[in-house]
Structure 1
Amino acid sequence: MKVAIGNDHAGTEYKLAIIGLLKSMQIEVINHGTDGTDSVDYPDHAHPVAYDVEKGNVDMGIIICGSGNGACMTANKQQNVRAALCWNKEITQLAREHNDANILSLPARYISLPQALEMVRTFLATSFSGGRHERRVEKIPV
C-alpha cells in the first residue's frame, strides 16, 4: 500500500508520528507536507495529496491542518477525491464504509495525537461496504 500525506504547520507533529506508524506497518509514504512549524498555506500541501489520489499514484491520502476544514475543502476540488473531515474513530469508519472516502482529513488542533493515530489505523483497515452506499457515492460528481 502507498499513502500520500500532506500538512500545514499545525499538523507537523501529527504528520511525523503518522509517518512513523505507516512505516511500521510497511506502508510506503509520499510526504507532501511541511516538516517545520513556520506558517505555510494548507492548499500547497493538500493539492499534491489529492492529485496523487486522483491519478492513482497512491492508494489513500491523509491531510492535516489546524481545523481540517481548509485542507479537506482543497482536496475535494480534485476529480474522484472523497476527502472526509473526521474527528473520531467512529466517523472515520463510517467515512470509509458508507462514503468510500479516499482521503482522511485530520483537525490537529481539535484531536489528540493518540486519537489521530487510531483514526489512521481505522481509515486504512476499513473497507467500503458498497451496497446501498455505492448508489449514493456514484451520485457525487467527478
Structure 2
Amino acid sequence: MVAEQGTEYVLLDKHFLKTRQHRRGPGIEACDLLGPANELIHVKRAERSAPLSHLFAQGEVSVDALIHEAEARERLVAQVHAERPGHPIDTTFQPRKVVYAIALGEGKRLTADTLFTFSQVALHRTVRRLRGDNVDVEVVSIRT
C-alpha cells in the first residue's frame, strides 16, 4: 500500500540483485521499499527473534553491497527505474539511511521493552556496524 501510485515510495520486495559477490540463489534484496529520500526500508512481521535477526542482517548485507559493488548499484538503479521511471537515483547512489519497519503481532507495539532480548543485541550490533559506514538507522513500529 505504501508504494501505490502517487507516493514517492518504490516497492522492491522480492526484487533481487545478483552480483559477483552475491551470485548464489536469487541474490540479495536491497530493501523492501525505497523511500522518498532513497532510504532503504526493510519490513518484517515477527513473533520471534529469528526473523528479526535475518532482517537486520539483510540491511547490513544490502548496505555493504551498495557501498562496495558498482554492479549492485547499477542493478538497483535499473530496478528502481523499471518500477518508477524518473525516480531520483543514479549509479552514484550511496546508502545514507536504513529503516527497519517491524510489526510484532496482534496489537503489540514495538518498543525497547517489547523487542525480544536477542533481537535487541542483534539490532545494537547492526546499528554499530551501519553507523561505521556513515549510515543512519531508524526503527519504526507497524501497528497491526
Q: Same fold (TM over 0.5)?
A: no
Which structure has the larger Rg over C-alpha atoms? 2
Q: TM-score, normalised by structure 1?
A: 0.32
| TM-score for both structures, normalised by structure 2 | 0.32
